[in-house]
């Protein structure tokens, strides 16, 4: 099914390139490797891959610069694969337009799941109007939410937040992105309002808000909603 999906890996560590090529090859992906940022940019333009995996620590260029250059002309999904563990770096990469990130070391299944999610979002012209996972169903057309078959009542802001997350199920949304999308460009510094609303939503849809099944916190970065069951 993935036979024709072409992934460009921009990464300077040879052993990691071989590992990724073998891992993704087994899943049916075709991989091209670039060992420098310059080579990566030129291959991205000439090959038009379906997805790019980008390491931030490259020998010739800052990985963030590679990301910015790619985003200046391309919507190709980009997943950061990096040793970076600083939350600020993750936030910066996502705010610069990366679709997701995976921190090394990672479980093989984690990378392939992120790739599937990013490809699905890049392909679907009209996003699915129904979110369904475990016992939660959100109808984005009718603006209704059901948990275990019972209707859940949210405030307007809570609904906007939950539907934004549901439309992006499986991907992390940074605090800044969520604040901007719901409260406008001047709200970016007000994390508290977001936390309060997210806590309220969790109380309404999570059986145990301390161990969420639907809304996961990416500490210091943002939130990620559980993927749709159907996909
Ligand atoms: Ca590197």
Quote the ligand 1 centre to 222 CA distance (angstroms): 25
- How far is the C-alpha of 160 from the C-alpha of 156, rounded, in Å? 6
Quote the ligand 1 centre to 142 CA distance (angstroms): 47
Quote the ligand 1 centre to 103 CA distance (angstroms): 12
Q: Which of 189, 206, 185 is nearest to 136 (CA)?
A: 206
The domain segmentation of the chain, as residue ranges, is 2-124, 130-225
Q: Which of 97, 36, 37 is nearest to 68 (CA)?
A: 97
Quote the ligand 1 centre to 41 CA distance (angstroms): 16
Quote the ligand 1 centre to 91 CA distance (angstroms): 19
Quote the ligand 1 centre to 181 CA distance (angstroms): 33
DSSP single-letter state for residue 89: H
Tell me, what's the pLDDT at 2? 45
At the second CATH level, the architecture of 130-225 is Orthogonal Bundle (1.10)
**Helix/strand/coil for 5:** coil
Quote the ligand 1 centre to 47 CA distance (angstroms): 22
Tell me, what's the pLDDT at 191? 86
Quote the ligand 1 centre to 136 CA distance (angstroms): 40
Quote the ligand 1 centre to 121 CA distance (angstroms): 27
Quote the ligand 1 centre to 63 CA distance (angstroms): 9
Quote the ligand 1 centre to 14 CA distance (angstroms): 9
Tell me, what's the pLDDT at 37? 97
- pLDDT 10s per residue in the chain (231 long)? 445 799 999 999 999 999 999 999 999 999 999 999 999 999 999 999 999 999 999 999 999 999 999 999 999 999 999 886 688 899 999 999 999 999 988 888 999 999 999 998 888 766 678 999 999 999 998 999 999 999 999 999 999 999 999 999 999 999 989 998 898 877 767 889 999 999 999 999 999 988 999 999 998 899 999 998 865
Quote the ligand 1 centre to 138 CA distance (angstroms): 41
Contact call for residues 76 and 50 (beta carbons, < 8 A) = yes
**Superfamily of domain 2-124 in the CATH hierarchy:** Response regulator (3.40.50.2300)
Quote the ligand 1 centre to 57 CA distance (angstroms): 4
Print burial letters for 19-33: b (CB count within 10 Å at least 16), e (below 16).
ebbeebeeeebbbeb
């Amino acid at each position: 099914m993935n036979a024709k999906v072409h992934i460009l890996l921009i990464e300077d560590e040879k052993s990691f390139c071989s590992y990724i090529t073998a891992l993704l090859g087994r899943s049916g992906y075709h991989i091209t490797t670039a060992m420098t940022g310059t080579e990566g940019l030129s291959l991205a333009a000439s090959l038009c891959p379906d997805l790019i995996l980008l390491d931030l620590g490259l020998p010739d260029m800052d990985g963030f610069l590679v990301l910015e250059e790619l985003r200046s002309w391309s919507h190709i999904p980009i997943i950061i694969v990096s040793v970076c563990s600083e939350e600020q770096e993750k936030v910066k990469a996502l705010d610069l337009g990366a679709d997701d990130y995976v921190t090394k070391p990672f479980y093989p299944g984690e990378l392939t799941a992120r790739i599937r999610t990013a490809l699905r979002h890049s392909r679907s012209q009209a996003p699915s109007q129904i979110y369904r996972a475990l016992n939660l169903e959100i109808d984005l057309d009718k603006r209704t939410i059901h948990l275990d078959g019972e209707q859940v009542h949210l405030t307007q802001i809570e609904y906007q937040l939950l539907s934004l997350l549901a439309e992006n199920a499986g991907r992390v949304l940074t605090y800044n992105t969520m604040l901007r999308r719901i409260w406008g460009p001047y709200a970016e510094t007000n994390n508290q309002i977001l936390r309060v609303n997210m806590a309220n939503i969790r109380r309404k849809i999570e059986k145990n808000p301390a161990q969420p099944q639907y809304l996961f916190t990416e500490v210091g970065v943002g939130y990620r909603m559980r993927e749709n069951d159907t996909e």
